[in-house]
Amino acid sequence: MTKTNLKEVEKVAAELGTKEAVAKELKRVQSVKCRLKKQKGKATYEAEMAEVLKQEQVLKEVRQLLNPKEKPVTQYEQADVDKLDYDETVKAIRSIQSKKTLSRWLTDVEGDNDEFRNACRIEKMLIERREKIKPVDENHVRKTAIQAVIDTIESSGELSQEKIIELLKNVIQ
């Protein structure tokens, strides 16, 4: 994966503005890439493909900046579970129970695979967490929302002060 210029990422984010506009532009660039793949004999193929891949990478980073991804429930450790509030814990329990159901019969013997055992381990941690906490008051900010902003700032390197403030304002809305 190549490193992209953060100023360029912020500039594109400002130009496109919304998640929908970024998704539309990313789809357009991916269509261009798909058509270009069929033209490998073209004299300028290498240069054009490099430019399209660069645009695609910038748009993916803009998407990540505008809509930070949370860690998947299937990768939770005890520290991640301890950060969840009541509503997030209930949502995670439903998610991991779905994963358990889907992975139960991956082998001939019921539940005899690592994916299922991991889902059971995570479900146990989540249920214990749910027993210890109470529902969140609407006037409180979720720790996980703050953590998502921190993760975005850390993964994106140097962000402008305006972008950081915008991310934080989104948390308290």
What mean pLDDT comes out for the span 98-123?
A: 91
Residue 7 lies in a domain: yes
Q: Is residue 26 scored above 80 in pLDDT?
A: yes
Co-location of 7 and 51 in the same domain: yes
Residue 133 in 3-state DSSP? coil
> How many domains does one find in the chain?
2
- Do 114 and 93 sit in the same domain of this protein? yes
pLDDT at 68 over 50: yes
H helices within the chain, ranges in order? 6-16, 19-37, 45-66, 78-82, 86-103, 114-132, 143-156, 161-172
Predicted pLDDT of residue 4 = 62
What mean pLDDT value characterizes the chain? 86
Residue 45 lies in a domain: yes
- Assess whether 4 and 52 both reside in one domain: yes
Instruction: Examine residue 81 and state whether it is found in any structural domain, yes or no.
Output: yes
Domain boundary among 36, 67, 98: 67
Q: In the predicted model, is pLDDT for residue 107 greater than 80?
A: yes
Does the structure show a pLDDT above 80 at 136? Answer: no
Share of the chain above pLDDT 70, in %: 97
Q: What does the angle CA 101 – CA 102 – CA 108 come to, to the nearest 5 degrees?
A: 95
* 1 confidence band (pLDDT: 50, 70, 90): very low
Rounded-to-integer distance, Cα 44 and Cα 60, Å? 24
Question: Within a domain: residue 82?
Answer: yes
Could you list the residue range(s) of the whole structural domain that residue 40 is in? 1-67
